Chains A and B, each alone.
Chain A
Amino acid sequence: DAGVTQSPTHLIKTRGQQVTLRCSPKSGHDTVSWYQQALGQGPQFIFQYYEEEERQRGNFPDRFSGHQFPNYSSELNVNALLLGDSALYLCASSLGGRSYFGPGTRLTVT
């Protein structure tokens, strides 16, 4: 059984650009959450998708948006990138209250 997968592994973008990160949840999991982890910090919740709709959102600006597809996979889009968006972006899928995380996408904004 494949776990949570994310792509790409690493990404380098320039300020002002837009980026799309992708996540495939663990088999059978219908809920996908995205987190941002800055260096030396714990992950911060961005938003969660369930049944193709955003169910909950953390304290992130509208530049951060997402989508969930019928197969439960998800995308995270970030527009107008800032230097401060450089971080490890983690996707988690959940079933029954337990969360499983993917390996993350390291985004560097220059």
Chain B
Amino acid sequence: KQEVTQIPAALSVPEGENLVLNCSFTDSAIYNLQWFRQDPGKGLTSLLLIQSSQREQTSGRLNASLDKSSGRSTLYIAASQPGDSATYLCAVKSNQAGTALIFGKGTTLSVSS
């Protein structure tokens, strides 16, 4: 059974810092991995999608890496801003055809100005 863990559960940093969020999964047989952002009480916004054959994806100040063999992914946020404050969720999809996303509990990030 696939399990996803995110560390740390919460993180507070001053504006301008670079930071790394961690995600680990127990079964390396994944199809893809997605990072989402969730603002309080809101839905999920997809940030980055990494296919199992890829090592990393970048979008603006965000960079996500994937190491399938070790069951790990990281989300790197450069030059953090107060607007980055949110909960970041990692989710894995185990195969292509209609399978569920398995989520971690998320990391709640607070960036102070």
Whether A103 touches B105, Cβ cut-off 8 Å, given contacts A55-B98, A56-B100, is no
Tell me the residues in window 61-113 of chain B with beta carbons closer than 8 Å to chain A beta carbons.
89, 91, 93, 96, 98-106
| Neighbour of A48 across the interface among B4, B31, B96, B100, CB < 8 A | B100
| A88 interface residue per 8 A CB criterion | yes
Check B43–A104 contact: CB distance below 8 A.
yes
Given A56-B99, A58-B100, A97-B96, also A43-B44 (CB < 8 A): yes
Contact of A103 among B42, B89, B91, B102 (CB under 8 A): B42
B32 touches A101 (CB 8 A): no
| Contact (A33, B100) CB under 8 Å given A42-B4, A42-B106, A101-B36 | yes
What 0/1 readout, one digit per residue, does chain A (70-110) give for beta carbons within 8 Å of chain B?
Answer: 00000000000000000010101000011111111010000
> CA of A15 to CA of B97 in the docked complex: distance in angstroms?
36
CA distance A88 to B44 in the complex (A): 11
Smallest CB-CB separation from B93: which chain A residue?
A: A97
The reply to whether B98 and A101 form a contact with Cβ atoms under 8 Å apart is: no
Task: Name B31's closest neighbour in chain A (CB-CB).
Answer: A97
Q: How many of chain B's residues have a CB under 8 angstroms from any CB in A?
A: 26
Q: State the CA gap A50–B41 with chains docked (Å).
A: 28
Flag if A41 contacts B105 (CB, 8 Å). Answer: yes
Across-interface contacts of A43 in B (CB, < 8 A): 44, 89, 91, 101, 103
B89 near A42 with CB under 8 A, answer yes
Complex Cα distance, B42 from A102, in Å, reads 9
The answer on a CB contact under 8 Å between A45 and B102 is yes
Q: A88 and B41: CB pair below 8 A?
A: yes
For the complex with contacts A42-B4, A45-B100, A97-B49, 15 further pairs of A-B residues with Cβ separation under 8 Å are A6-B43, A31-B98, A33-B100, A41-B105, A42-B103, A42-B104, A45-B102, A48-B100, A56-B100, A58-B100, A90-B44, A97-B96, A99-B101, A104-B41, A104-B43
**Chain A: residues with CB nearer than 8 A to chain B?**
4, 6, 31, 33, 35, 40-45, 48, 50, 55-56, 58, 88, 90, 92, 97-104, 106
By a beta-carbon cutoff of 8 Å, the part of chain B in contact with chain A is 4, 31-32, 34, 36, 41-46, 49, 51, 89, 91, 93, 96, 98-106
